[in-house]
Amino acid sequence: MFSMSSSLRALIFDLDGVITDTAEFHFLAWRRLAEEEGIPFTREDNEALRGVSRRESLNRMLKGRAIDEATAQAWMERKNSYYLAYLETITPEHRLPGVMRLLDAARLAGMRLGIASASKNARRVLDKLGLLEAFDAIGDGYSVVNPKPAPDLFVWVAGRLAVSPQQAVVFEDAEAGIEAARSGGFWTVGIGAATRGLAHLHYDSMAEVSLEAVTRQLAAG
């Protein structure tokens, strides 16, 4: 099992699917592009895109179809323009239930807070949610070269927060994110169905997370 070698000092959050739910907007934007290009793309197909980079999302959407680099760039730009239009509709009401309670409790406990998102639009999303100032460090799709499941983004954010991986817990809704955090040596809390059985702790939703329970269970091992 696991136990904490030192006290918990930071919480690091994935953004899409943990702080807010933009997966539907990503889906609608990819589906529009896919339809325009005559590629079948279902809601189920979209599950495989959860948490991975824009480039990897395109690869998975193509399912082996070959396109040249200029076309790939143009398609990613087009998908992003559709996605940006959806982002305009986001407000602070789109914070997932339980998020503010957890952030407030962590602040009261003196913890540092970080975001580690694969998205190049993470700052825009946080701004629309009214949460740009709520975090001490924001890692996004521009911060590191190797995307999740490489551990680099979480390590980058932990460095900005001046904590070691063993002093931080990562909240993630995607398999690639849990794999990234675990290989970086972080404690992990999985949120939702895709992370069941993969993380140190698991909750069906952020609304069920309690800082006290997470701290106690990680300490108990």
Instruction: Examine the residue annotation and report whether 127 is marked as an active-site residue of this protein.
Output: no
Q: Is 17 in the site for Mg ion (CB under 5 A)?
A: yes
- The binder of 121, among ligand BG6, Mg ion, none, by C-beta within 5 to 8 A per type, is ligand BG6
Of 80 and 210, nearer to ligand BG6 (C-beta) is: 80
Site of interaction with ligand BG6 (CB under 6 A):
15-16, 26, 49-54, 57, 80, 117-121, 141
| Smaller CB separation from ligand BG6, 57 or 188 | 57
> Which residue in 19, 22, 51, 111 binds Mg ion (CB under 5 A)?
51
**Which residue type occupies 198?**
L
Residue 16 appears among annotated catalytic residues: yes
Min CB(49)–Mg ion separation in Å: 10
- In the bound complex, what is the minimum distance in angstroms from residue 13's beta carbon to ligand BG6? 11
Of 161 and 180, the one with the shorter C-beta distance to Mg ion is: 180
What's the rounded Cα separation, in Å, for the pair 211 and 84? 33
- Give alpha helix (H) positions in the chain: 23-36, 43-47, 54-62, 69-87, 99-108, 122-129, 152-161, 175-183, 211-220
Cα separation, 217 vs 221, in Å, equals 6
Query: How buried is residue 81: exposed, middle or buried, by Cβ count under 10 Å (0-12/13-18/19+)?
Result: exposed
State the minimum distance, in angstroms, from the CB of residue 173 to ligand BG6.
8
Q: Which residues of 113-125 are buried (b: 16+ CB within 10 A; e: fewer)?
A: bbbbbbbebbbbb
The rounded distance, in Å, linking the Cα atoms of 90 and 150 is 29
Say which entry of Mg ion, ligand BG6, none residue 173 contacts (CB below 5 to 8 A, set by partner kind). Answer: Mg ion
Residues known to be catalytic = 14, 16
